Amino acid sequence: MKLGVIIAAAGQSKRLGHNKVLMELGEKVVLFYSLEQFIKVPSLSQLVIVVRAQDELEVRELLEREGYNIPIIQIVVGGKERQDSVYVGLKALDMCDIVAIHDGARPFISYELIDRLIDEAIKYGAVIPASPVKETIKVVKEGYVESTLPREFLWSVQTPQVFRYKLILNAYEEAFRDEFYGTDDASLVERLGYKVRVVPGEYTNLKITTREDLEIAQRYIKLLNL
């Protein structure tokens, strides 16, 4: 079984003013935390990092400096939206069996969760990590509550999302043919009528979006002994 990995690192990071995956977190940049976990996977055959054009040189220099300039790692320039960027990454992969798509701004993914997701994807074809929502969720319009959603059915979805290669590639091709943009990779598979399996994620699998997230991540460094 050959594993391909796409790390989406081409976000605009408007709220932080700099590409968040290239910000220092502890002793390394955010991107390298998840990169290190995927590199450990024995079945890894190719890893594609999708970056913004203006960040390409910096990423290459960082990989060189940290000793990650290895043949299985490829850097490609992404598109305008995340979906465009992941599609570029999918097309950059050679034929593989399973693809894991991960947000580079989620530094604390564990090897154990990656391993479990790969096993589930081999069995079911499409799998995502998610955690039950703790808070009450309300639909708000123009400053007023319209409805309260039943919390027992709500899960907060994370990455990596893992799929059979042919399935996710077909889902992306169909989406672009129909000019459909989803909110995550699994939504493109769902619209084809394919069932997506959900496995428990990790509450520490934080996505860094705001400066507050970055401060929380600094505390996680100590909590997780990273």
Return the half-sphere exposure (C-beta side, CA atoms, 13 A cut-off) of residue 55.
25
pLDDT the model gives residue 13: 61
State the pLDDT at residue 14.
58
pLDDT for position 11 = 77
Q: What is the pLDDT of residue 70?
A: 87
Q: What is the pLDDT of residues 8-35, one digit of tens each?
A: 999 766 555 568 899 999 989 999 999 9
CATH topology of domain 3-127+159-223: Spore Coat Polysaccharide Biosynthesis Protein SpsA; Chain A (3.90.550)
Residues of the chain with confidence (pLDDT) below 50 = none
Q: Which long-range contacts (CB under 8 A, 24 or more apart) does 151-156 make?
A: 155/130, 155/131, 155/198, 156/130, 156/131, 156/132, 156/201
218 close to 23: Cβ distance less than 8 angstroms? no
pLDDT of residue 223: 82
User: How far does CA 84 lie from the centroid of its chain?
Assistant: 14
pTM confidence score: 0.94
Q: Which sequence spans correspond to the domains of the chain? A: 3-127+159-223
- For 149, phi then psi, to 5°, come to -85, 145
What's the pLDDT at 211?
Answer: 87
Structure tokens at 136: 């009450």
How many other CB atoms are found less than 10 A from the CB of residue 148?
10
Distance of CA 94 to the CA centre of its chain: 19
